[in-house]
Amino acid sequence: MSNLLFSPARLGNLTLTNHIAMAPMTRSRAFNNIPNELIATYYAQRATAGLLITEGTSPSPNGLGYSRIPGLFSPEQIAGWKLVTKAVHDRGGHIFVQLMHTGRVAHPLNLPVGAEVVGPSAVAAEGMMWTDQEGPKPNATPRELTTEEVKAVIQEFVQASKNAVEAGFDGVELHGANGYLIEQFIHPASNRRTDEYGGSIENRARFALEVAEQVVRAIGKERVGIRLSPYGVANDLPHYPEIEETYTYLAEKLNDLGIVYIHLVDHSAMGAPAVAPSTVKAVRERFKNTLILSGNYNAERGEADLQSGLADLIAIGRPFISNPDLVERLATGTELAQPDPSTFYVGGEKGYIDYPALVEASV
Ligand SMILES: Cc1cc2nc3c(=O)[nH]c(=O)nc-3n(C[C@H](O)[C@H](O)[C@H](O)COP(=O)(O)O)c2cc1C
């Protein structure tokens, strides 16, 4: 059987050099929330991935809940991202930006002046949030968005998506996973609303689907993907009875919109509950475009899931941190370098752009 992992892949109109995506990973090097040359170097070093998906990037000042994460709503941020997309494209890579509005997973100290912590309902997420000023602080209780404001947030996603195209990105990944704003609307524990954005499955899915629909209208369906994490419990979102029904419904509606991919998260190797195989199957059956699977993949398991047709692309996270030439190493069976978690989120070059490739190419 011919190898799929290392052979070219289609993603909408794009031809990727292989079936491996680099999973989105926050690295907290965007001082003042603006991408810079350091970040461009990091992504350029990893441009042999078939598709790079950037770290979570906020479409709004209100969505910058973590310290030093980038945004995509100001001219300075667009200019900063242009450095990144050019560096990646110059090396033959493709890159989508992950649009992450942190919603209630935030502390006001991390937000710019005038911004505020908002969410579907005034329900705080248990957990601590790092602040550079005062260390760890409990997540803030969000202010509940009015119906009118929900529609304005959708427009922030639309504008950020247009900015993404202006900045040279090949597309956007809507972050509908891991307990951030889009999932806060999907999930009944964080969404207690009584308007059209809360209550039934249809209503809780409405925000995600309206964001997707309007972003498609603005930049084209070939440029829009979404990340989802059924059964993920990150950021204080416990299990609820209708998980499979909810994601089956989402997959059907996202298929109707014709977006280019759904990217499913499985963090069971990181201690999260397993994703029900029946839910992955339900999404696979209903969604006809590209399905990306992620979570603790190596080459062997990736190849198996591509061959069986369960996945169309495989996203890999942590190994890309410490192996900029991960694709080459997997293809040749070379031992992988281990990443150092103590440098995941601290600023600077160490643990970021200083992991060597087997053959150093000039960036
Ligand atoms: C340092 C770090 C930062 C991450 N940041 C994000 C993020 O910004 N957005 C996201 O959707 N997932 C994020 N994740 C999750 C990864 O995308 C991925 O799902 C996870 O690492 C599991 O894949 P792996 O086993 O291949 O590493 C992050 C993971 C790590 C280790």
pLDDT tens, residue by residue, 90-139? 999 999 999 999 999 999 999 999 999 999 999 999 999 999 999 999 99
Residue in the block written with tokens 């292989």: 18
pLDDT for 141-151, tens place per residue?
A: 999 999 999 99
Q: Do 315 and 229 meet the contact criterion of CB atoms below 8 Å apart?
A: no
Q: Does 285 have pLDDT greater than 60?
A: yes
Average pLDDT score over the chain: 97
Q: Tell me what the mean pLDDT of segment 223-243 comes to.
A: 97
User: pLDDT band for position 160 (50/70/90)?
Assistant: very high
Mean pLDDT of 177-194: 98
- State residue 240's pLDDT score: 96
Length in residues, the chain: 363
Mutating to test ligand 1, I would choose from 33, 296, 318, 343 the residue with most ligand atoms within 8 A of its C-beta, which is 318
Does 361 have pLDDT greater than 90? no
Kindly state the average pLDDT of the residues 276-301.
98
Regarding pTM above 0.75, the answer is yes
Report whether pLDDT(2) > 90.
no
- Other beta carbons less than 10 A from residue 332's beta carbon: 9
pLDDT band at 347 (very low <50, low <70, confident <90, very high): confident
Q: How far is CA 229 from the centre of its chain?
A: 11
Provide the token pair at 36. Answer: 């810079």
CB 317 near ligand 1, within 6 Å:
yes
Q: Which residues, in sequence order, are CB contacts of 23 under 8 Å at separation 6+?
A: 53, 294, 315, 316, 317, 320
* Res 363: pLDDT: 45
Residue 1 banded pLDDT, cuts 50, 70, 90: low
Q: Is 43 a catalytic residue?
A: no
User: Nearest CA to 133 among 68, 55, 200, 193?
Assistant: 68
d(CA 39, CA 55): 10
Determine the CATH number of domain 9-362: 3.20.20.70
- What pLDDT band is residue 360 in, cutting at 50, 70 and 90? low
Q: How far is the CA of 56 from the centre of ligand 1 (A)?
A: 10
Nearest CA to ligand 1 atom 4: 25
Does residue 288 surpass a pLDDT of 50?
yes
> Encoding tokens for residue 156?
């922030």
Q: Which residues have C-beta within 8 Å of that of residue 332, sequence separation ≥ 6?
A: none
* Options 43, 180, 197, 352, the catalytic residue: 180
Whether 240 contacts 192, CB under 8 Å = no
Q: Give the mean model confidence (pLDDT) for residues 272-283.
A: 96
Average pLDDT (165-184) is 98
Give me ligand 1 centre to Cα 40, in Å.
19
Please tell me the distance between residue 99's alpha carbon and the centre of ligand 1 in angstroms: 14
* 308 pLDDT higher than 90: yes
227, two tokens: 């990340």
